[in-house]
Structure 1
Amino acid sequence: MTSRRPVFTADPRELAGRRALVTSGSRGIGAAVAARLRRAGARVLAVARSRPAELDDGEPFVAADLATAEGCAAVADAVRGDLGGADIIVHVLGGSKAPSGGFAVLDDREWQRAFDLNLLPAVRLDRALLPEMLDRGSGVIVHVGSIQSRLPLPEATTAYAAAKAALSTYSKALSKEVGPRGVRVVRVSPGWVQTDGATGLIAELAAKLGTDTEGARQALMASLGGIPIGRPAWPEEVAELVTFLASDRAASIHGSEHVIDGGTVPVA
């Protein structure tokens, strides 16, 4: 068992000439996906609220708030203007800042915020960019969800989990509609991923519980019902799965969900 950050090699020709949009592309899973697609030869337009300092000046980027219709429209315009369209769309954006306390603390504003962040950006961007894919008869859309859609934590993630479940249902419906016209749609559902945000959460949990970082890690894994491999995934591992699904190696994979959670969700 190891917790070392993995290193993957890439065929630089695999996605050569492909144009990719990656939302939430400045950190965590999104940054790892954008970097991995670039290594595979794709031209990537990343989206986030602000441009990451480490991104090369020559790499296309758009700063936008995708929780708004205006932000999604600006990104769609940037895809058309900077890339001339998209061959690959990876919807990574998501998250929750809802307070703990279960259903009673989730007012209409919290519910709307969950759907504005976790469902509607994908709906809006797909609606704007899919027609060109369908006209061309090719393309891949990857919706990044969460195992929370199957394994919600009622203390704090009810609205987030419901929004991700809605994303999963939307994605499945979309796959049935556009698959016969040459566009593949797949879902990737990570469990706990070792991002900078997760590291911060561990620090907060350690302070709250009066324990050290390892104790907080174990407590968080226990709250999920355990992670059989004994650790969270790395963003690079999720990016590797996304890149495979976006490639021609996965040409017959469509309409399916791919869970990457170290065995957290028990399945029959």
Structure 2
Amino acid sequence: MNAYPFKGKHALVTGGTKGMGEAIVRSLVRSGATVITTARSLPMEPLAGVRYVEADVASADGTERVADVVKREFGHVDFLVNNVGGSSAPGGGALALTDAMWDAAIQVNLMSAVRLDRALLPAMVERGAGAIVHITSIQRRLPLFESTVAYAAAKAALANYSKSLANEFGPRGVRVNSVAPGFIETTAAQALVKRMAEHRQSSEDDARQVLMASLGGIPIGRPGTPEEVAELVAFLLSPLAASIHGAEFVIDGETIPTV
């Protein structure tokens, strides 16, 4: 098997300086890809050979800047991983959320992907080749009403949009799939636990247990790791997944117990 299956390929990964995004960047670099990644602030210790673009892809201006850098410096990308996402809304359920909080969740979790796809898909279609992976979430099927109402709704929209995109562009040579992580031990997950603890006036350990219980538990006994998600994403981008189109792969330790 080729040790560098992505040699000569260009990949854009949004939010690639921490958590799952960083793990995905590392995996693709190991496989030989030239990787461009985005972040609102540049890392203190950048990875060698990675092109960092300082931009907030939750905004139209930010996605335009990223697309301009890609087109000017690389011409096109072979792979696009829309990884950026998250929730900064407070706990307290649906009635605690303002219009601004809803808009923020939709911009980062849905529109960032929509805008970058719109900017970079034409070159993939013209070349008749490309692969896109959207990072959704099991919360699109298992929303946590106490803490992530808007986030869950935006991820559900992203999953629906991803399927539509696959139906439209699969026949034109572009594969679109999505990955739905469950509880993954990232810095963002740790921040969510902290916010829940503050809202509940409890310890972070107690809040973590509440979060685990709200998901129905994790049968394998632990959260997933960013590296596990990264390997799944790399597989979906690879030629080994050439016949996989319009699918969503759940990686949650069997948190969702239904078929």
What range is the shorter-chain TM-score in?
A: over 0.9
Query: Cα 1:160–1:53, aligned 2, differ >3 Å: closer, same or farther?
Result: same
| 8 Å Cα contact 1:192-1:232 kept in structure 2 | yes
Q: Does 1:261 align with 2:256?
A: no
Runs of 4+ in structure 1 deviating by more than 4 angstroms, as ranges, are 200-212
- Indicate whether 1:116 and 2:116 are aligned: no
TM-score w.r.t. length of structure 2: 0.94
The corresponding residue for 1:61 is 52
1:27 to 11, 18, 27: 18
Superposed CA deviations along residues 137-193 of structure 1, whole A, max 9, x for unmatched, are: 000000000001000011121111110001011100000000000000001000010
Selected match of 1:194 from 177, 185, 190: 185
Over aligned residues, Cα RMSD in angstroms?
Answer: 1.8
C-alpha separation between the residues in 2 aligned to 1:145 and 1:154? 17
- Structure 2 runs not aligned, ≥5 long: none
Q: C-alpha distance in 1, partners of 2:255/2:233?
A: 19
1:234 partner letter: T
Residues 1:66 and 1:203: Cα distance change in structure 2 (over 3 Å): closer
Q: Which amino acid aligns with 2:136?
A: G
Q: CA deviation at 1:99?
A: 1.6
In the TM superposition, residue 13 of structure 1 has moved relative to its aligned partner by 1.4
Alignment partner of 2:123: what SS?
helix
Does residue 1:221 correspond to 2:225, yes or no? no
**In the alignment, residue 107 of structure 1 is paired with which amino acid?**
T
Matches within 5 A, 1:39-78: 39-56=30-47, 58-78=49-69
- TM-score, scaled relative to structure 1: 0.91
Out of 205, 219, 240, which is 2:231 matched to? Answer: 240
Counterpart residue number, 2:131:
140
Q: Separation in 2 of the partners of 1:252 and 1:49?
A: 35
- Equivalent residue for 1:171? 162
Q: Deviations over 1:53-96 (max 9, x none)?
A: 22146421100011111100000011112222100000000011
**Per the alignment, in what secondary structure is the counterpart of residue 44 of structure 1?**
strand
Count of paired positions: 258
- State the distance in 2 between where 1:164 and 1:44 align: 25
Give the residue type in structure 2 aligned to 1:136. Answer: R
1:5 corresponds in structure 2 to none
CA shift for structure 1 position 211: 4.9
Tell which deviates more after alignment, 59-68 or 201-210.
201-210
Q: Which residue of 1 aligns with 2:84?
A: 93
What is the one-letter code of the residue matched to 1:161? A
